[in-house]
Structure 1
Amino acid sequence: MQFLFKIPEKMPTMSIKELLENYFLIPRKIRHFLRTKKHVLVNGQPVNWQSTIQAGDSLSLTFDDEDYPTKSIPMGKPDLVQELYQDEHIIIVNKPEGIKTHANEPTELALLNHVSAYVGQICYVVHRLDKETSGAVLFAKNPFVLPILNRLLEKKDIHREYWALVEGSFPYKSKIFKDKIGRDRHDRRKRLVDNKNGKYAETHVTRLKVFDKHTLVKCQLKTGRTHQIRVHLSHQGFPLVGDPLYNQLPSKRLMLHAHRLDFIHPFSLEKICVEAPSESFEKGLK
């Protein structure tokens, strides 16, 4: 597995050691093999570990099979994948409602299996959406980039924007909810607001459009708790339309859609911004 990079102009000055350890987050054992096997080249030449990278340099990293052992999953159906963005390292797809992001059983097929079949190689989940939720999902195309993307997610540098249709007239033009979220002891599928024992959760909600009985809102996550949007809004008396866990009123689908995803690409340092269309969500607004 070989990767070629051109160091972008915006990359801060650092040594090869700092680049591999602190920026690329390559594990110590694998860094050792890269060094002893001379699998790190700059402009086609072996380099000293303390050498400084420069903008425009061509960096080559070669990994052996034992560095990142390949896992095995069943391949899905590539025609089920709607690509929003793809390059050598990542793919963003538009997840339909009613499908899991990743499987819970070895023989189960989920979006990850379909994306892997579409790409032609095993991919890796960076973040997930609930089965009932549609919209933009990011996958890593190799195990090398996965920890880098995970760090962006942990640092909240991957920005996710959702559309949600809620019951009733949402009275605020914008509102920030910070109620802590914990498990529901009476139903393992559910979460609830638990400001004593729960984990901190922050959701920014903006009103977009008011209908006769419903309100369309935009939600931006500052944390990533399970069912966060669904729990925060239902706790305030505005459950999502079609929510099978937090709303008793029936509807064709859960009206929650990951509309937008943006972040700075860790290698090119360019901004990646995608918007995911949803025909079924749009129909639900009418």
Structure 2
Amino acid sequence: MNSIEIKVTELFNGLTVEELLKAWLIPKAERHLIRMEKRLSLNGIIPNSQSLVNSDNTIIINFKEKSKFLPEGNPDLCQVLYEDENLIIVNKPDNMKTHGNFEGEIALQNHVASYCKKAVYVVHRLDFETSGTVLFAKNQFVLPILSSLLEKRKIHREYEALVTGHFPQNQFTINKNIGKDRHDSKKRIVSKTGQTAITQVEVLKKFTQLSLVKCNLETGRTHQIRVHLSSLGHPILGDNLYGGQPNRRMMLHARRMIITLPFSFKKIEVISNSPSFDQALYRSKIVME
């Protein structure tokens, strides 16, 4: 049995234990097990579900975690942007998988696990060619909470992309459903029957034949930014799958993440840099102009 210790913040003063667990976005089934198996202590005492909590309280929750074996990675390849007892945000290089797809495959998840000296769990992923911020949970208890925060848009992800051509507006929203391509399992397409997909776009800079844009995700569909920009006739440079012009790397980078932390609901911001993106941006600008 593992445990997690949480200091109650002023935001939750006066809530009952049950209300607190719900406010923390702990899933209903898990709340039930915590209550039935008496896995929660309040200042060292097992409370009932209607006990009140205050900001000077310490809560300890015991939870079960299935052991997960991850082949050893290289901790030196884990570039930490933020870390606490529950989660870790790292900077993924381009041309690296977020997680392995078969037994024994080494990916970013393995490097992060080797750095943390324990298994870590993927909250969201970046494509192989994309660099930037990636969030991992440090235990299985916090994983569904982070997933819920992502679903409720409490985790804000901001990307930069270099695309061909210019847009008629400097700020606009792409609201086009995305579905699977029946003819190519690797691809996604704009489809009326697909899942809702919304991307906010802002033009940061215009070059002679290129535009550098900022993209904010309101949804998180596979290849969302790539499909949306390509559907407008402005594919990302280096995106061979969606019609982008050849380039040394695909020009998509997850630059910024703003996250509402579990339990405290404190907001933090992390920014990642990518030498390969910035160097390729400079080279592409010079060549294309």
Checking the alignment, whether the CA contact within 8 Å between 1:11 and 1:269 is kept in structure 2 is: no
Identify which of 122, 126, 131 aligns with 1:125.
122
The Cα shift of 1:4 comes to 1.3
CA RMSD across the alignment: 1.7
Aligned counterparts of 1:12 and 1:238: Cα–Cα separation in 2: 50
| Identity score, percent | 48
1:98-137 equivalences under 5 Å are: 98-137=95-134
Which stretches in structure 2 are left out of the alignment for 5+ residues? Answer: 283-289
Checking the alignment, whether the CA contact within 8 Å between 2:73 and 2:113 is kept in structure 1 is: yes
Checking the alignment, whether the CA contact within 8 Å between 1:26 and 1:144 is kept in structure 2 is: no
The Cα shift of 1:36 comes to 5.8
Corresponding residue for residue 62 of structure 1: 62
Corresponding residue for residue 199 of structure 1: 195
Aligned counterparts of 1:100 and 1:280: Cα–Cα separation in 2: 16
**Residue 150 of structure 2: SS of its match in structure 1?**
helix
Which AA in structure 1 matches 2:18?
K
Identify which of 78, 83, 88 aligns with 1:81.
78
Identify which of 219, 222, 231 aligns with 1:223.
219
**Residue 122 of structure 1: SS of its match in structure 2?**
coil
Q: Does 1:9 align with 2:5?
A: no
Corresponding residue for residue 285 of structure 2: none
Which AA in structure 2 matches 1:233?
L
Q: Which runs of 4+ in 1 moved over 4 A?
A: 34-38
Aligned counterparts of 1:58 and 1:153: Cα–Cα separation in 2: 26
Q: Does 1:170 align with 2:170?
A: no
Which stretches in structure 1 are left out of the alignment for 5+ residues? Answer: none
Corresponding residue for residue 49 of structure 1: 49
Corresponding residue for residue 254 of structure 1: 250
Corresponding residue for residue 266 of structure 2: 270
Greater helix fraction, Structure 1 or Structure 2? 2
Identify which of 211, 234, 239 aligns with 1:238.
234
Name the TM-score, length of structure 1 as normaliser.
Answer: 0.93
**Residue 262 of structure 1: SS of its match in structure 2?**
strand
The Cα shift of 1:46 comes to 2.2
Aligned counterparts of 1:7 and 1:30: Cα–Cα separation in 2: 17
Which AA in structure 1 matches 2:131?
S
The Cα shift of 1:38 comes to 4.2
User: Structure 2 vs 1, CA of residues 55 and 248 (structure 1 numbering), >3 Å: closer, same or farther?
Assistant: closer
Aligned counterparts of 2:28 and 2:171: Cα–Cα separation in 1: 43
Which AA in structure 1 matches 2:186?
R
**Residue 167 of structure 2: SS of its match in structure 1?**
coil
User: Structure 2 vs 1, CA of residues 24 and 181 (structure 1 numbering), >3 Å: closer, same or farther?
Assistant: closer
The Cα shift of 1:39 comes to 3.5
Aligned counterparts of 1:47 and 1:248: Cα–Cα separation in 2: 59
Name the count of aligned residue pairs. 281
Aligned counterparts of 2:27 and 2:67: Cα–Cα separation in 1: 16
Corresponding residue for residue 21 of structure 2: 20
User: Structure 2 vs 1, CA of residues 238 and 12 (structure 1 numbering), >3 Å: closer, same or farther?
Assistant: farther
**Residue 249 of structure 1: SS of its match in structure 2?**
coil
The Cα shift of 1:27 comes to 5.8
